[in-house]
Structure 1
Amino acid sequence: MTQQMLDERYGRRRSTGRRVIGWTIIGAVAVGLIGWVGWGTVARSIDEIDDDLTAFEVVDAHTVSVTFQITSPPGRGVTCVLEAQDEEHGIVGWRVVEYPAVDTHARAFSEEIPTVALATNGLVNSCWVT
């Protein structure tokens, strides 16, 4: 028996129109999904901030000085959380600092963090666009 005879016997039809429509729908969904993932990646990187600690100094038992630089989107304000830790990595001081929007991409800062005990280091915990 040939394929045509079997198709006629069991009532099967080969419809190319349905196949074309099916693949068109699958292709449209795939293009939409790729666009959505691409836009999500771009949107996340637009507001991305990079902070780099360049130095810290334990001034005394109640103060730590941190020097750091950030790269942020121009024209957007930035808020950073600075932290001082003791020998056991317990937080002994922290400070939230806000920086106004400027037209430059990279900036450097030096800030002092008040502490409640002797700190052994200072660091930038996180920064975000405000």
Structure 2
Amino acid sequence: MGSMSATRLKDLPPRLQDRYGYRRTPVAAIAVAAALAILIAGFGGWMAYRVANPEVRYRLLAWEAVSPDHTSITFEVNKGASSSVDCVLRVQDKRHQDLGYAIVTVPAGSEYSQTTYEVATRELGFAAEVLNCATPGNLHAPTEQFPPGTSNPPQPWRPA
């Protein structure tokens, strides 16, 4: 038996390379793939930065079901000093049905704001939350979800 050695296609003469389909690495394809990878990585980094550093940050600090007709909600907002912010507050019962729902405007003027708002409710609240805070026109939050035959009490709560 004779010895056989493996031959690489690129070591063959051009006539045989054409016959057996030697492929040269296309420099343009590699450059396009690299540019696309850099573009995707840059976009991913930008999105991660935007998620980690939103224009408006908010946090529920405390809430208290004061009585069956209202709940007190205290929350903080960090935003640009020159912009006002709308926040959606919600109070629910044990069945997760809305008892009170309010959109509160935090005025421009300070980067940090701590607000206490009295949400009027139909009965004693079981849970309270700040659904979202955003600049006007950019507010996206679930709509009020009251049981059939009921509606949101007039906001804000006022003593009788």
Alignment partners' CA distance in 2, 1:103 and 1:118: 33
Q: Structure 2, unaligned stretches of length 5 or more?
A: 137-160
Pairwise CA RMSD: 2.6
Change (3 A) 1:7 1:93: same
Across the two proteins, how many residue pairs are aligned to each other? Answer: 127
What amino acid is aligned across from residue 69 of structure 1 in structure 2? E
Alignment partners' CA distance in 2, 1:53 and 1:71: 12
Contact 1:66/1:112 (8 A) holds in 2: yes
Change (3 A) 1:115 1:19: same
Specify the structure having the higher radius of gyration (Cα): 2
Q: Structure 1, unaligned stretches of length 5 or more?
A: none
Tell me if 1:26 matches 2:33. yes
Tell me if 1:116 matches 2:122. yes
Report the structure, 1 or 2, having the larger helix content.
1
Could you tell me the percent identity over the aligned residues?
Answer: 25
Q: What does residue 142 of structure 2 align with? A: none
Q: TM-score, normalised by structure 2?
A: 0.64
Listed as ranges, the matches of 1:21-60 within 5 Å are: 21-45=28-52, 47-60=54-67
Q: Which structure has more RCO (C-alpha within 8 Å, separation ≥ 6)?
A: 1
Tell me if 1:107 matches 2:108. no
Q: TM-score, normalised by structure 1?
A: 0.77
What amino acid is aligned across from residue 86 of structure 1 in structure 2? D
